Amino acid sequence: MTSPSLRFDAISEAMPGPKWAARWERSWPAYRAWFIARGGDQGPSRSDCEAALARHMPEMLPTYHHLVAQAGGSDRAARFLSTWCPPNYLGGCSLAALASPDAVRLVRNYDLSPDLNEGLLLHSQWTGRKVMGMVEFLWGLSDGINDAGLSIALAYGGRQVTGTGFGITTILRYVLETCDTVGEALEVLRRVPSHMPYNVVVADASKTTTSVEMLAGGGIRVATDALATNHQHDGSHPDRGSFTRTFERSVHLQRIAGSGQDPESLVEEFLKEPLHQDRYGEGFGTLFTAEYNPLNRSMTLHWADTKWHQSIDNFSERQSVITYGGERPIQLHRPQREIDWVAIGMRYAFANPPHWREFTAPEAATGLSPCCNG
């Protein structure tokens, strides 16, 4: 059996241009299939989506309009890119931030199937400030850092309940485009509604860290420790909790948080069990580990046999194919065969992913997207 693999790209483009447009052309067929199959065409109108952005994230409107134009300007593309009241999606992931008098780190594992991640680290300057992070839904972020050192990452909140709000990856993008500190980030997270429950960890250059539980339809709960897995502390029972081992991972993170461990060694915990997952055939493997250092505005992506170090002020474009199952990564020097995004999109749009027994249950098969969040 062929080991699963995923191509990762590190791209720098100050404003959305030909590089972003090429990514749109590559990924849109799968997203379009998912959006249609999940009822996106029956969602809010284009004018309603734009009005929601103007009301909640006015600073992002120029970038949004630029992206829509790059994407061809269709109503469907405009509604998709707004992420206002989108179809459901789900994922896994573990997050934690630690600080000491001398250091601070935010670390995340992104757990999902290699078929369902964009594999894109984007360095940009869309609103006049530098931001880099892992892209989701073509302009949102699952995690990232900005030129003030503010770092943020998300984890699925564990339940497929929805409310009126934005896709969480757009909210994370907005935080990094407009905020400098954890305190400012909390104000945004309180004000901008999320359409599903998510857990978010934030850290900044003052060594402040926190964890926030985003509620479906708006509102937050600020947690005690700066850590998160895939459940929330409201007494609710998470979907697929035993499958994702969310409670086991949470207990492990709590032990780490209470151990006095140095922030610099936090990433080592994420590279081994129980935080690191290897169930790729079941749709739940760690695709990458991202380590953020707010003090020097840098990040490191870790895999089994390689790592990329990038900083806001010294970013290098590169590309690797990561094979999951112990083989060494391939450093690409020439174009490789593209993923068949249309086939992937159709497969997951109709909730029939082979080998994913957990997703055959009706309650789990309603929320898959071609690229889901951790």
Within-domain flag for 155? yes
- Return the pLDDT at 284: 85
Within-domain flag for 111? yes
pLDDT tens digits, one per residue of 336-373: 334 443 343 343 333 333 332 332 222 332 233 444 45
Domain range enclosing 143: 5-14+91-360
DSSP 84: B
Within-domain flag for 370? no
- Return the pLDDT at 2: 77
Q: Which residue is listed with tokens 């897995």?
A: 229
Quote the pTM value.
Answer: 0.88
Within-domain flag for 156? yes
Distances (CA, A) of 8 to 38, 207, 222, 274: 27, 30, 33, 24
- Return the pLDDT at 239: 86
CB 155 within 8 A of CB 275: no
- Return the pLDDT at 137: 95
- Return the pLDDT at 115: 83
What mean pLDDT is reported for the chain? Answer: 88
User: How many domains are contained in the chain?
Assistant: 1
Within-domain flag for 143? yes
pLDDT tens digits, one per residue of 15-40: 999 999 999 999 999 999 999 999 99
- Return the pLDDT at 157: 94
Within-domain flag for 24? no
pLDDT tens digits, one per residue of 264-283: 999 999 999 999 999 888 87
Within-domain flag for 225? yes
Within-domain flag for 283? yes
- Return the pLDDT at 373: 53
Which CATH number covers residue 262? 3.60.60.10
Under-70 pLDDT residues of the chain: 1, 90, 326-374
Residue by residue, DSSP assigns 99-113 as: E-SS-EEEEEEEEE-
